[in-house]
Amino acid sequence: MNLQGTQPRETSSAPLGNREATRTMLDAWVRLWNGDLAQAAVIIAPDFRIHAALLDGGDGSNLPGVDGLVAWISQIRAAFPDLHFAVEVPPLIDGGYASVRWAATGTYAGGLPGAQAEPGTVVTFTGTDTLRMEGSRFVEYSINSSSARPVPRPR
């Protein structure tokens, strides 16, 4: 989803030029998670750090840099081949930090230990990404999400 299409205005203490550059980076971030893995080389710093609970129960510290992030996204997208992320709340931007609330929906393909959904089940989960930027690259990422395991959402 393009961040330009959101209704409410984002909250920011960043100068206008930095805010627009950050919005451009966040648009690329969403495209990356929606499967455009080439975005990683453009917006992710070589020493990028992830703070997250991973699907295998580990933490993100063993996934450094562009390659680590792309591998993790690829693992998630293998479990949800049609996964689509959409921004729910306009970004909060403060200096070198940005935070975005999102929802993701996809069809579970199977393969995750402990999953409560059967393969073929459409699941939705939500989360908030907080990113730290230096220059034109993201250098650090923290995520809070509703579920690391596929659980069907009541309709």
Residue 154, pLDDT above cutoff 70: no
Average pLDDT value over all residues in the chain: 83
Q: In Å, how far from its chain's centre is CA 40?
A: 12
What is the distance between the alpha carbons of residues 124 and 122, in angstroms, rounded to a whole number?
Answer: 7
CB atoms within 10 A of CB 47: 12
Position 144 pLDDT exceeds 70: yes
The confidence score (pLDDT) of residue 66 equals 94
Q: What is the pLDDT of residues 110-142, one digit of tens each?
A: 888 778 889 999 999 899 999 999 989 999 999
Vertex 146, ends 141 and 148: CA angle to 5°?
75
Asked if residues 91 and 100 have their Cβ atoms less than 8 Å apart, the reply is: yes
pLDDT tier for residue 57 given thresholds of 50, 70 and 90? low
pTM assigned to the model = 0.82
The DSSP line for 75-101 is HHHHHSTT-EEEEEEEEEEETTEEEEE
More confident residue, 115 or 28: 28
